[in-house]
Every structure is written in structure tokens, then in C-alpha cells.
Amino acid sequence: MSDYDVTAESAASPSAVWTLLLDARSWPSWTPIDALEIGQSEGLSPDGRDGVGATRAFRTGDVVTKERITALDPERVFGYEGVENPFLSDYRATIELQESDGGTRIHWRGEYVVAEEMREAFPAYLQEFMQGMANGLAEHSAKM
């Protein structure tokens, strides 16, 4: 089992950060993700407040990954699991938000099994990619 663990600090309130996490349509604006594939997603909320069980399909380059929301503790914990990913299996992740000096500390961590041919390089790549995700969330939420 491999893992990543990243943190970022946002000047935004937990409420502002939470709003972006719930709205899958916002993710391409603050992450390296190219697009939300609506036709391959299931259970998306029209008001941008996706709930537990919603499956979101994100495309980065030619790769589409699907993730299902598994836990929501408003403005505190956002959990999800991988449904479909060509490089990972048994993927589970948690994003914890903690109020901090008028802003929000974002703690994003995940565990996964990586395909054999990717085991050497992928963990470092994913650590950096996820740090970019957390940083993007922190910066974008502060502009709202």
C-alpha cells in the first residue's frame, strides 16, 4: 500500500473551501484536472452540492478517473474512494478542514495500490500532484 499526505493553508473560511470540494464542476478551475466528464459521472447535484454516493469522472489528458464520495461531515471532512483508475486500485482519500487563524488548514491524504509497472515513479508523482491539488484549493477558495 502506498500513500500521500499533503497540507495547504488558505485564507478562506472552511465554508468557502467546502463549497469548492462539493462542486465537482469547480475542480478543473483549481486543479490540474482538465475537465469533469458529466456524461460519465453519476448523481451530480445540479446545485453544486454533490452528496455521498455521487460518482465524479475527471479527465486529465487522455485519462479518465472516477471517484465516489463516501463521507461528508460539513466543513470538516470530505472522503472519497476510487471507482475507476487505470493506475490505482483500493484508493481511498480524506480531506480534512480545520479552522486556523481566520483561514483553513487543508489536510489531504490517501492510500492506494499502484500498478506494478508504475510502483517506482508513481508515488512521488502523486505526492506532487496532490500537493498541487491542495495548493490550488487553498488559493482558489481565498479568491472567492
pLDDT for residue 118:
83
Question: Above 90 in pLDDT, residue 19?
Answer: yes
Nearest to 95 by CA among 37, 2, 20: 20
23 has pLDDT over 90: yes
CB 25 within 8 A of CB 19: no
Domain at 2-142: CATH architecture: 2-Layer Sandwich (3.30)
Q: Angle, nearest 10°, between helix axes 14-22 and 122-142?
A: 120
State the Cα–Cα distance between residues 45 and 121, nearest whole angstrom. Answer: 36
Assess whether pLDDT exceeds 90 at residue 144. Answer: no
What is the C-alpha separation between 34 and 118, in angstroms, rounded?
22
Distance CA 94, CA 139 (A): 19
At 87 the pLDDT is: 87
Q: What is the mean pLDDT of the chain?
A: 95
pLDDT-derived band at 116, boundaries 50, 70, 90: confident
pLDDT of residue 102: 87
What predicted TM-score, i.e. pTM, was given to this entire model?
0.94
Quick one: CA torsion of 121, 57, 14, 77, rounded to 10 degrees? -80
- Domain locations along the chain: 2-142
Please state, for a pLDDT cut of 90, what percent of the chain lies above it: 90
Q: Side-chain half-sphere of 99: how many Cα atoms within 13 Å?
A: 6
pLDDT digit string (tens) for 75-92?
999 999 999 998 899 999
Distance from C-alpha of 100 to C-alpha of 2, rounded to nearest angstrom? 29
What's the pLDDT tens digit per position in 36-74? Answer: 999 999 999 999 999 999 999 999 999 999 999 999 999
pLDDT of the residue at 51: 95
